[in-house]
């Protein structure tokens, strides 16, 4: 016979049931205290995520540094700033950080907590949840949104965003910047003669060759079709042109798996003028590219 005060299918009527419930939670519920002297510790920890490799819960009850010392060096100051802001203004604490494991890997942790003034400091009540899989998926989607699926280069959206960043730096510091536009010559003939699959392979190989020949700081992307662009930070035209000529020669001499000499590029160059709109730089480089096509292709025009 069932008692009236006991609900079927579970319940949290006793301290034992509450402890069992907390231990099964997919994460960590906690109390975090920061004293007026700056000492930090976790008076309470519960949940399935409390089993941190190499750290005992009893250690964290005494000193939070056992956990904080395992944070990523980029995330640590951000977390400390968030704690200070939350304590000073009594605002909710909401942040995320990477926690390094003994095997060299790391996990992303999301933290949410509510502060209250406590004896000799501030006490937060909150929870931490492992969001590593979510962060991996977000990074994958971000790469997809920024990457040309065929060549693996930056796509047009990403390239224009990087160009905007670099022109902003130029205007702030007066540093040089050049833009290079490349277009494959007679690419329609390649597709018509050898097929679109071979044409795609040419684009993939061209992207690989450009990455190999360009400098690490140069930013290359596919604008669409057979047109590519390279943003060259800290590079005036006097340095950009020889680099473009070397790139043009190497592409013309490269074996793309079809008849020799069939793959060449025309290249248009422009150097950024301080204060000009980004579109004006692209338009000048595009005019140079058009001139290279008009003057016989397989050449560099600035």
What span, in angstroms and rounded, lies between the C-alpha atoms of 301 and 151? 25
Chain center to CA of 192: 38
E strands in 172-260: 177-184, 219-224, 227-233
The total number of residues written for the chain in this structure = 302
- 226 in active site: yes
Residues 97/111, Cβ–Cβ less than 8 Å: yes
β-pair type (227-233, 177-184): antiparallel
129: nearest Cα among 95, 84, 92: 95
Given 74, 137, 226, 227, which residue is catalytic?
Answer: 226
Element (H, E) at 294: helix 278-294
CA distance 33 to 37: 11
Annotated catalytic sites, by residue?
Answer: 226
């Amino acid at each position: 016979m069932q008692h009236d005060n006991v609900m079927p299918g579970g319940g949290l009527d006793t301290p034992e049931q509450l402890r069992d419930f907390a231990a099964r939670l997919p994460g960590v519920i906690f109390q975090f205290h920061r004293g007026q002297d700056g000492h930090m510790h976790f008076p309470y920890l519960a949940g399935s995520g409390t089993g941190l490799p190499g750290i005992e819960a009893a250690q964290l009850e005494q000193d939070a540094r056992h956990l904080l010392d395992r944070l990523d060096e980029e995330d640590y100051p951000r977390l400390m700033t968030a704690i200070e802001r939350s304590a000073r203004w009594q605002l909710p604490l909401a942040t995320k950080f990477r926690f390094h494991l003994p095997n060299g890997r790391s996990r992303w942790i999301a933290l949410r907590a509510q502060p209250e003034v406590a004896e000799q400091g501030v006490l937060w009540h909150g929870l931490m949840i492992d969001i590593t899989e979510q962060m991996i998926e977000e990074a994958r989607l971000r790469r997809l949104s920024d990457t040309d699926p065929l060549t693996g280069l930056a796509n047009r959206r990403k390239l224009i965003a990087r160009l905007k960043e670099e022109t902003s730096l130029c205007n702030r510091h007066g540093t040089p910047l050049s833009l290079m536009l490349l277009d494959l010559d007679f690419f329609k003939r390649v597709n018509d003669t050898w097929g679109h699959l071979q044409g795609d392979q040419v684009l993939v190989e061209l992207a690989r060759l450009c990455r190999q020949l360009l400098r690490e700081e140069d930013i290359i992307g596919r604008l669409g079709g057979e047109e590519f662009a390279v943003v060259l930070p800290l590079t005036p035209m006097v340095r950009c042109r020889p680099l473009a000529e070397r790139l043009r020669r190497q592409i013309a001499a490269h074996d793309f798996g079809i008849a020799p000499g069939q793959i060449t590029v025309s290249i248009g160059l422009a150097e950024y003028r301080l204060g000009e709109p980004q579109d004006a730089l692209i338009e000048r480089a595009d005019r140079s590219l058009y001139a290279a096509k008009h003057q016989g292709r397989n050449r560099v025009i600035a």
